[in-house]
Structure 1
Amino acid sequence: MSDEHADVVVVGAGPAGATTACWLADQGLNVALLEKGTFPRDKVCGDGLTPRATKQLLRLGIDVSEEAGWLHNKGLRVHGGRAEPFELPWPTLGEFPSFGLVRKRADFDELLANHAVAKGATLYQQANVTGAVVDERTDRVTGVTTKDGRTFTAPIVVAADGNSSPVAKSLGLLKNANRPMGVACRTYFTSPRHDDDWMESWLELWDGKPGESNLLPGYGWIFGMGDGTCNVGLGTVASTAKSQKLNYRELLQTWLANTPKEWGFSPDNQVGPIASAALPMAFNRKPAYTRGLVLVGDSGGMVSPFNGEGIPYAMEAGEAAAEAIVRAHAEGVGTPGAEKALNSYPARLAAEWGGYFRLGQMFVKLIEHPQVMHLCVRYGLPRPVLMRFTIKLLAHLYDTKDGDWMDRVIHSLSRAVPAA
């Protein structure tokens, strides 16, 4: 098969890669976007998007109206500490919209990839990348090879190929086992709760009657999909990748067995299997730029330790990476000016998220034990001011300029601690 050449090769057409390709193509660069599968294809995800992700979709010019197939939500409904849940609206801020979204990954990723194509990127499906091509003379990445023998070349390669990242591993960039690692599993059920306009989070999971049985590790979620089904899942997180061995499917089934029968979360109503995926957190693979290779999204561990959310960070990183790459091309790839531009990308990530991710590492160490989470929920949830503060912290939703006292405190804390 003939080789393909581009200004930039982007490996992976998920939110990280598709967003990067959108911004690059919008600036006139020739972009090869490689997807190992064929659209439509599914990914393990909660399918729920906070206002942080909504902002990125709006920046891309995506129509997020309900008429375009999006389900809007107005905040979090949190279960824990008492029989009745707490409803916490998304904060009203200057820097973020006040609504979240729900959409299945089965068509969310395809929508973003098609948007990149509309901007001018070329999408190659069934392009299963096995590793990077390195010029022995310069020791720089000059392309990638695929399982079927093709070679795609470019002076800059973006690895947006997920937690396993064959491209990064081929350069010896391995994950830091001392960074937090989460695992999420989910499935779908037909349910009368499918059109709920709140994203629902369960901070206490019991193996029997709530309050009268044993606490399970982790947190649960129920997100109505608006199509007759609910995405129901469970996540766990440990302060290091050397996490305890858990049967996540069994945990999920145990929790759901004690939910109200009228919700329909029973085997008879299950749609599809229970699937699971790793959540690489807090920059667990570095550096985000080296030798012509840029890491974006899960390949660089860009998942929040606070809530396991990765899509907004993947999309924000994609925009930041594209900005650096466009500058590098303008300078002339390989020149000192271009390298300065590309190295500004990891510096920008550290400045914007490094302190927040470090706070998240501290948070994980506190709540990875169910008993500690129980105490936090019991004494924290009933206090409205504390919970408004907490939702801003956990969802990374606060104004960095002209915010209220909560915003100023969180922003100051994020700036005060060393970057992750």
Structure 2
Amino acid sequence: MSVEADVLVVGAGPAGSATATHLARRGLDVALLEKSQFPREKVCGDGLTPRATRQLIRLGIDTSVEAGWLHNKGLRIYGGSTTPFELPWPELADFPSYGLVRPRADFDDLLARNAVAAGAKLYERTNVSGPIIDDTTGRIVGVTTKNGDTFKAPLVVAADGNSTRLSLALGLTKRDDRPMGVAVRTYYRSPRHIDDHLESWLELWAGKPGESDLLPGYGWIFGMGDGTCNVGLGVLNTSSAFGKTDYKDLLKRWLDNTPEEWGFRDENMTTKVSGAALPMGFNRQPHYVNGLLLVGDAGGMVNPFNGEGIAYAMESAELAADAIAEARYRGIGTSSAERALQGYPTQLKAQLGGYYTLGNIFVKLIGNPKVMGICTKYGLPRKTLMRFTLKLLANLHDSRDGDAMDKIINALCKLAPAA
């Protein structure tokens, strides 16, 4: 089979499907290539902040309870004491005031079908084996698949995740000076499956809280509303335990010290423990080169502050689509079109570069357990400080005409050099 299109999007996760949707709505002929078949499972992302909710709304997705979404109204934080601290999502002009929960298998399928409804052509079970390069220009002009098919287009979007073989084939290797995380998660039958907050554990204890060893990393619990909870933990490469830890055992040791009535015990586990890498802080650059644009995890878009990736996958998708559509109508191959494409990494850096630099610094600091201990002990009891921290860590603040906290965060992001 040989297919030609205006744009190829490789990978139909949130980044790829969002890119395809925005491009199709702008009138481009889009081929969306997915190596698996929907529905299919992914490890992270069931819990979505208002930042991700905003992008779903921009994609035209119905995020109502009636459409199958579980809503949450804030973040519950454990750390510094046995009593949790609840923070509502901020009331802002730029973002809705609610987050969402939905299983990734259903979520990714929904986004892919949304792209098809917009006009994109979805090719499932299409495993890309490598790029097709124009020998004269050095530009990517298509891809080949493992079953011998070819797909050709003047522009290609790499939305193929952290491993991003397509980017590697063009010599785009990850930067080792940027943070990387690893996350593991599973599901448990639990009476806590209905919850109006996402839950974050800033301290993981090997035994009784405050009287045992502090384990590396941070944990989460998301009630799924279907009788189960998504429970997992993440460890950053700034921790001395990174790469030297049995993460499944670490998860069990933490959960063995949660109340038994919550149900987080082996006999209630409904799936195996699975893991995934979290590429953070723009750890692969440039985000555009020779006809190839990187979106989502392929470009290291995960927020270093909180490990959130889906919101930024969809944001980068919209920015990439804007640049591609502009280039298409200027005339691919012209210098004017090329300037439009170069505008994509420029926009990424303008919107997220300073913030990610702050996040990269933050990750290095909390890699020291003593620093994390001081933050939880002295920071959590102070509500005003914690409201500021929530806005900073979740990147939820108004870009214009916000309150004093918003203005401080905006100023910090502008002062910091772009990542």
What is the DSSP-based 3-state SS (H/G/I as helix, E as strand, rest coil) of the residue aligned with 1:33?
strand
What are the equivalent positions in structure 2 for 1:17-416 lying under 5 Å apart? 17-239=16-238, 243-416=242-415
Q: Contact 1:181–1:243 at 8 Å: present in 2 too?
A: no
Q: Deviations over 1:123-164 (max 9, x none)?
A: 000011122110001111000111111111000000000000
1:35 is displaced (CA, Å) by 0.4
**2: CA distance between counterparts of 1:397 and 1:249?**
32
CA offsets 1:41-65 (integer angstroms, 9 cap, x no match): 0001141000000000011110011
Contact 1:177 1:242 (C-alpha < 8 Å) held by counterparts: no
Q: How far apart are the structure 1 equivalents of 2:141 and 2:29?
A: 15
- 1:98-140 deviation per Cα after TM superposition (whole angstroms, max 9, x unaligned): 0000000011000000000000000000011122110001111
Aligned length: 419
Q: Which moved more, 1:370-379 or 1:150-159?
A: 370-379
CA separation in 2, counterparts of 1:241 and 1:143? 42
Q: Distance in 1 between matches of 2:239 and 2:129?
A: 27
Q: Which residue of 2 aligns with 1:12?
A: 11
- 1:177/1:240 contact within 8 Å kept: no
Q: Distance in 2 between matches of 1:373 and 1:100?
A: 26
Letter in 2 for 1:323: D
Please give the TM-score of this superposition, normalised by the length of structure 1. 0.98
SS at match of 1:409: helix
Amino acid at match of 1:195: I
| CA deviation vs aligned residue, 1:312-353 (integer Å, no higher than 9, x gap) | 100010000000000111011111011000000000000100
Shift in Å, 1:174: 0.5
The one-letter amino acid paired with 2:74 is: G
Partners of 1:179 and 1:241 within 8 A in 2? no
3-state SS of paired residue (2:193): coil
Superposition CA RMSD, Å: 1.1
Distance in 1 between the 2:171 and 2:145 partners?
18
Cα distance in structure 2, aligned partners of 1:369 and 1:157 = 41
More divergent stretch after superposition (386-395 vs 127-136): 127-136
* Residues 242, 253 of structure 1: alpha-carbon distance in 2 compared, 3 angstrom cutoff: closer
**Percent identity of paired positions between Structure 1 and Structure 2:** 64
Q: 1:148 to 1:345 in 2, by over 3 A?
A: same
Structure 1 outlier segments of 4+, above 6 Å: none
- Residue by residue over 1:254-278, the C-alpha shift from the partner in whole angstroms, topping out at 9 and shown as x without a partner, is 1001100000000100011000000
**Do 1:189 and 1:230's aligned partners in 2 also have CA atoms closer than 8 Å?**
yes
**Whole-angstrom distance in 1 between the partners of 2:368 and 2:43:** 25
Instruction: Give, in angstroms, the shift of residue 369 of structure 1.
Output: 2.2
Taking the aligned partners of 2:239 and 2:324, their CA distance within structure 1 comes to 32
In the TM superposition, what is the alpha-carbon distance from 1:232 to its structure 2 partner? 0.2
Q: Contact conserved, 1:355 with 1:415, CA < 8 A, in 2?
A: yes
After TM superposition, give the deviation of residue 370 of structure 1 in Å: 2.2
Deviations 1:351-380 (A, max 9, x none): 100000000011001101222211100100
Which AA in structure 2 matches 1:404? D
Shift of 1:91: 0.4
Deviations for 1:196-247, whole angstroms, at most 9, x for unmatched residues? 1110000000000111000001000000000000000001112499944221
CA distance in 2, matches of 1:121, 1:86: 44
Work out whether residues 134 and 141 of structure 2, in 8 Å CA contact, stay in contact via their aligned partners in 1. Answer: yes
Corresponding letter in the other structure for 2:8 = V
- For residues 368 and 252 of structure 1, the distance between their equivalents in structure 2, rounded to whole angstroms, comes to 18
Any conservation in 1 of the 2:45–2:310 contact (CA below 8 Å)? Answer: no
| 8 Å CA contact retained: 1:196, 1:226 | yes
Asked if the contact 2:139/2:291 (under 8 Å) is kept, the reply is yes
C-alpha displacement of 1:83: 1.7
Which AA in structure 2 matches 1:396?
Answer: N
In the aligned structure 2, how far is the partner of 1:204 from the partner of 1:282? 23
Query: Quick one: distance in 1 between partners of 2:249 and 2:309?
Result: 25
Amino acid at match of 1:135: D
Conserved 8 A contact 1:178-1:240 = no
Name which of structure 1's ranges 114-123 and 144-153 shifts more when overlaid on structure 2: 144-153
d(CA) in 2 for partners of 1:243 and 1:265? 24
- One-letter code of the match for 2:17? A
Query: What is the CA deviation profile of residues 166-200 of structure 1, one whole-angstrom value per residue up to 9, with x for unaligned ones?
Result: 11011111001111001110000000000111100
Partner Cα separation in structure 1 for residue 113 and residue 76 of structure 2 = 33
